[in-house]
Amino acid sequence: MSDEFGMHYHAEPHLFEFARYLRENMTKAEKVLWEHLRGKKLAGLKFRRQHPMGAYIVDFYCHSKKLIIEVDGKYHEDDIQQQKDSFRDSEMERFDIQVLRFTNEEVLTQTESVLEQIKTAALTRTFTDK
């Protein structure tokens, strides 16, 4: 998943259609976070929402910083889902893509803290091109 693959990392064509559906049906927490990320509002960084990458669709992605933001609902508390999330995160991290995860509740009740964590992670990001 190096940059030679572009920002979509060879995402399967059917994922683009599903990503469009997800953009039209975002959760309340995703909508709140998107309002703060869209239009380069956070530190001048460009984020994309419901972005296909490889075999996955990530909630938010900043390509210039190789940073993924995931907003997790209740089903992410399930042990099996946590294992899947962990595997997915490690797949991304193998290619120097950092993944930050926040719960819906964190986004909705601690929005400023979440934004500060995203900003700090993005602005201190260093990575190598593999």
Residue 42: inside a domain: yes
Residue 16: inside a domain: no
Give the CATH number for residue 110: 3.40.960.10
Residue 46: inside a domain: yes
Residue 71: inside a domain: yes
Our count of domains for the chain comes to 1
Tell me the per-residue pLDDT of 21-44, one tens digit each, with 9 for 90 and over. 898 999 999 999 999 999 999 999
Q: Say how far apart CA 116 and CA 86 lie, in whole Å.
A: 23
Angle, vertex CA 101, rays to CA 95 and CA 104, nearest 5: 150
Determine the average pLDDT of the residues in 13-28.
Answer: 88
Tell me the per-residue pLDDT of 76-100, one tens digit each, with 9 for 90 and over. 576 777 888 888 888 888 888 999 9
Answer with the residue of higher pLDDT: 26 or 55: 26
Is 102's pLDDT higher than 70? yes
Residue 10: inside a domain: no
Domain of 114, in residue numbers: 28-123
